[in-house]
Amino acid sequence: MVKRGVGSVIRSSVILVALATFGAPTAEAQLNRSNCADCHFANPYTEPAQAHLEEWSRSPHGRNIVGCEQCHGGNPDTFESLQAHRDVLGSLNPSSAVHRTQLPSTCGACHIGPYVAFQSSQHFQLLGEGDQRVPTCSTCHGSVGAHLLSPVGLERQCASCHGPNGVAPRPGRAAGARLLLEGVAEVRDSLEAAESLIDRIRDPVRRAELEAAAQQAEVPVIQARQAGHRFVFDQLEERLATARARTAELLAQLVNPSP
């Protein structure tokens, strides 16, 4: 588990000294660590990106051992700076894996659902043409993918460009996005309620059946969130309707158990 705080600066320096003395870490130690992160946490002169490091360590990526190299490239198996940074390019370089135009494919390597939907949006098309006005993955999720927007947050994000004073005024787009994300949250809440009822069922066979039904109801919720990345919400609405129907059916079964 890679979890870091301010204290890791000291721990990382210790690792550096130990490495110099004892040679390469074992394969197991490497699995659980990112050399990139260790060195960056240990070097206060990379200060400008300190907030980025902290954000990474708290993000789902830091917590799930998605290391720096997964977005930036480079060689995570060495503490030798030149080797480590071999193909690491600054984010302003158009060939960099973290340049705004490259992010969809960099992030999309792991997040295929959102990537596929995003590719059929006008945002994606314009991004590829070098249009500076359109959003990329980090616009809504932050540079380390640490944020998920709330419905109101999303409305604000759309409105920052599609509001009356934005670069592409489109009245209705922002409010529509909020309403749909509220729909996603509402179905998720009902599903959570159903899941906590299911947890209390004693009969293991019946519990397993209902757990499977809950999973079936969750699939279209995941698909809806991914389909939202087209930013035209017809598919999202359709998936959400399916999720709603399955969840309602599940709740009905929980309230009136059939024999």
* Of residues 122-161, those binding ligand HEC (CB under 6 A): 122-123, 126, 133-135, 137-141, 143-145, 148-149, 154, 157-158, 160-161
Q: How far is the CB of 118 from ligand HEC (least distance, A)?
A: 4
Burial class (CB in 10 A: 0-12, 13-18, 19+), 142: middle
Q: Which residue has tokens 């959102």?
A: 114
Distance between CA atoms of 254 and 259, rounded to whole angstroms?
A: 12
Which candidate, 35, 47, 18, 111, places its Cα nearest to that of 77? 35
Distance between CA atoms of 54 and 69, rounded to whole angstroms?
A: 16
CB closer to ligand HEC out of 106 and 247: 106
* Site map (CB under 6 A) of ligand HEC, residues 67-96, x = contact: -xxxxx-xxx--x-x--xx--x-xx-----
CB closer to ligand HEC out of 107 and 191: 107
Which candidate, 104, 176, 179, places its Cα nearest to that of 134? 104
Q: How far is the CB of 217 from ligand HEC (least distance, A)?
A: 15
Q: What is the CA angle 62-60-74, rounded to 5?
A: 40
Question: Quick check: 97 and 107 in contact, CB under 8 A?
Answer: no
Binders of ligand HEC in range 160-179 (CB under 6 A)? 160-162, 167-168, 170, 173, 177
Distance between CA atoms of 206 and 214, rounded to whole angstroms?
A: 12
Among 9, 19, 232, 241, binds ligand HEC (CB under 6 A): 232
CB closer to ligand HEC out of 79 and 253: 79
Distance between CA atoms of 116 and 154, rounded to whole angstroms?
A: 20
Q: How far is the CB of 255 from ligand HEC (least distance, A)?
A: 27
* Site map (CB under 6 A) of ligand HEC, residues 9-48, x = contact: --------------------------xxx-xx--x--x--
Q: How far is the CB of 220 from ligand HEC (least distance, A)?
A: 12
**The one-letter amino acid at 53:** L
CB closer to ligand HEC out of 57 and 194: 57
Number of residues that bind ligand HEC (CB under 6 A): 79
